[in-house]
């Protein structure tokens, strides 16, 4: 039985790189595509990599949990949670939580999780091929 808490340096490096990209997008991308859509696709991948860097959890369980978490955050945006918590003057809260619900964001999160699952499947297939060759 594997341990639940297990540091994974590959996922950690990916999380750090994605976090840096997200910061660059937040600072420099003031357009109508990269910041709102690419940023949302990448944020679920960032969360996934962060979780996988610390926890030894199954791919599908982790991916679906991250997607559910993203849906919850988007639902809180629909409920104007930033304003309700009195954080409307906090640019950090507004950036992290978000301030407006959009169905397209839900779609972007789904695309991000699909990319995660495709990437994980490719890695799994390559690992199987490597194991088969070395056996």
Structure tokens at 76: 């809180």
Q: Give residue 42's domain range.
A: 9-134
Confidence of residue 127 (pLDDT cuts 50, 70, 90): confident
Residue 86 inside a domain? The answer is yes
69 occurs within a structural domain: yes
Asked if residue 28 belongs to a domain, the reply is yes
Number of domains observed in the structure of the chain:
1
CB contact set of 100 (below 8 Å; sequence gap of 6+): 77
* pLDDT (tens digit per residue) in 31-50: 989 988 999 999 999 999 99
Residue 126 lies in a domain: yes
Mean pLDDT of 55-68: 98
The verdict on residue 3 lying in a domain is no
Q: Of 48, 68, 69, 67, whose CA–CA distance to 57 is shortest?
A: 48
Stronger pLDDT, 57 or 97, i.e. the higher one: 57
pLDDT tens readout for residues 15-30: 999 999 999 998 999 9
**Residue 92 binned pLDDT confidence (cut-offs 50, 70, 90):** confident
1 domain residue, yes or no: no
Pick 81 or 131 by higher pLDDT.
81
Instruction: Kindly state whether residue 76 falls inside one of the protein's structural domains.
Output: yes
In a domain? residue 83: yes
Q: Which helix (H) or strand (E) holds 43?
A: helix 39-54
């Amino acid at each position: 039985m594997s341990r639940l808490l297990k540091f994974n340096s590959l996922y950690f490096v990916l999380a750090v790189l994605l976090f840096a990209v997200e910061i660059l997008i937040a600072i420099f991308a003031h357009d109508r595509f990269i910041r709102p859509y690419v940023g949302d696709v990448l944020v679920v991948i960032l969360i996934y990599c962060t979780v996988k860097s610390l926890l030894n959890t199954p791919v599908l369980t982790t991916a679906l949990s991250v997607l559910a978490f993203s849906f919850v955050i988007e639902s809180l945006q629909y409920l104007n949670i930033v304003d309700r918590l009195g954080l409307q003057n906090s640019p950090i809260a507004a950036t992290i939580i978000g301030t407006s619900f959009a169905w397209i964001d839900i779609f972007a999160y789904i695309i991000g999780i699909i990319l995660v699952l495709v990437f994980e499947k490719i890695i799994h297939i390559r690992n199987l091929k490597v194991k088969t060759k070395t056996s």
